[in-house]
Amino acid sequence: MPVIAEEMTRAARVVLARHPGAGAALSDRARRFIDYTPITGRPGVELAALGSPERKAAFQLLGAALSEHAFAQAMAVIALEEVLDRREEFRRGRHSGDYWLVIFGTPGDDAWAWRFEGHHLSVSMTVVDGQVSPAPLFLGANPARVDVLGRAVLRPLGVEEDLGRELLTALSPRNRELAVVSDVAPYDIRSATHPVSSRIEPAGVARSALRPGERALLDQLMSLYLGRLSDELAAALDPAGTEVHFAWEGPPQPGTRHYYRVQADDLVIEFDQTSADGNHAHSVLRRPLGEFGEDVLAEHHARD
């Protein structure tokens, strides 16, 4: 079994040994679920209910799936729940323990899956015959930026925002005209919380139409998102050899509501600032053809 799958299996078993309620059937409809809003009643076990060993195992699951920088982003997202609660004068009772781990199937079997999810964080991984299939992977931040003396103390998705804008401003007038498909940003990322990432028609400027410097920035932006995953998992999602489009909606200025999307055949990357002051960020990596492990599960069933 590959190392990543082994690490995930060990960590998941630690959680299930003490909290069998964290488990669900692989066939459970909740497996194809993504909701990054602050809802109640998620399946699995709440982080707040875990003892120290199981909590560490839950974080080890995340650590096996994510790169170091994405793991740091995820930890910052969790901590921001306390900051947001303070901003709201503690009226809503948000807390950093309100994140849930659910394990579908039996870790170590031919096919099983897990999801770590809460407000502004959703990570789903499916393990089939030792192969890990990632996505969806959502990271958000509210507030997206915490400042002191005009400088950012915490800005978990700052690189994603800045690099997208850097690409937009670097485009030639013609390519920028193609890239900006609307002067008004959507209310949220277009894939939203839909359990199936529906086909979104490619829009914006094609990678093949970009100048070398522009193309390098687009490739860097894609690498940033794929780099949220461990190297092995990221390599499997590389859209090399297929056409990629970059689209922008809304004004280009910081501190405004805006949105961008990078899209290939089986890769959709979205980023938006959802508030008028540009301080509430959402970002996601989805796979219309293979998320929730549908690609590797189909291959597995075909072999059976």
pLDDT digits (tens, 9 = 90+) for 146-157: 999 999 999 999
Domain boundary among 142, 167, 195: 142
For residue 240, tell me if it sits in a domain.
Answer: yes
Same domain for 138 and 158, yes or no, is no
Same domain for 41 and 121, yes or no, is yes
Residue tagged 């008028």 (tokens)? 276
Same domain for 63 and 85, yes or no, is yes
* pLDDT tens-digit map of 175-227: 999 999 999 999 999 999 987 766 788 999 999 999 999 999 999 999 999 99
Number of Cβ atoms within 10 Å of the Cβ of 192: 17
Mean predicted confidence (pLDDT) in 18-30: 97
| Res. 173 pLDDT band, cuts 50 70 90 | very high
For residue 40, tell me if it sits in a domain.
Answer: yes
Same domain for 229 and 173, yes or no, is yes
Task: Of 61, 174, 163, 156, give the one whose Cα is nearest residue 116.
Answer: 61
For residue 190, tell me if it sits in a domain.
Answer: yes
Domain count, the chain: 2
Name the residue range of residue 287's domain. 153-292
Same domain for 94 and 161, yes or no, is no
What's the pTM value of the predicted model, to 2 decimals?
0.96
Residue 252 contacts residue 258 (beta carbons within 8 Å): yes
Q: Which two tokens stand for residue 31?
A: 């497996």
Domain boundary among 120, 142, 164: 142
Q: Which helix (H) or strand (E) holds 206?
A: strand 205-206
Residue 66, strand partner residues:
229
Same domain for 134 and 24, yes or no, is yes
Which pLDDT belongs to residue 141?
A: 98
For residue 49, tell me if it sits in a domain.
Answer: yes
**DSSP 8-state symbol, 73:** H
Mean predicted confidence (pLDDT) in 88-92: 96
Handedness of CA 130, 22, 122, 136 (dihedral sign): positive
Which pLDDT belongs to residue 198?
A: 66
What residues contact 24, with CB distance under 8 A and at least 6 apart? 30, 31, 43, 44, 102, 103, 104
For residue 227, tell me if it sits in a domain.
Answer: yes
Same domain for 238 and 278, yes or no, is yes
* pLDDT tens-digit map of 226-275: 999 999 899 889 998 899 999 999 999 999 999 999 999 999 999 999 99
Q: Is the pLDDT of residue 104 over 90?
A: yes
Residue 156 contacts residue 144 (beta carbons within 8 Å): yes
Same domain for 256 and 171, yes or no, is yes
For residue 249, tell me if it sits in a domain.
Answer: yes
* pLDDT tens-digit map of 61-78: 999 999 999 999 999 999
For residue 302, tell me if it sits in a domain.
Answer: no
Same domain for 159 and 220, yes or no, is yes
Which pLDDT belongs to residue 304?
A: 72
Domain boundary among 118, 142, 166: 142
Task: State the chain's maximal CA–CA distance in angstroms.
Answer: 62
Q: Is the pLDDT of residue 1 over 80?
A: no
Which pLDDT belongs to residue 201?
A: 87
Higher pLDDT, 240 or 141: 141
For residue 300, tell me if it sits in a domain.
Answer: no
Residue 118, strand partner residues:
99, 121
Angle at 233 between CA 260 and CA 98, to 5 degrees: 70
To the nearest whole percent, how much of the chain has pLDDT over 90? 89
Which pLDDT belongs to residue 2?
A: 87
Same domain for 167 and 43, yes or no, is no
Same domain for 211 and 282, yes or no, is yes
Residue 271 contacts residue 190 (beta carbons within 8 Å): no
Same domain for 134 and 223, yes or no, is no
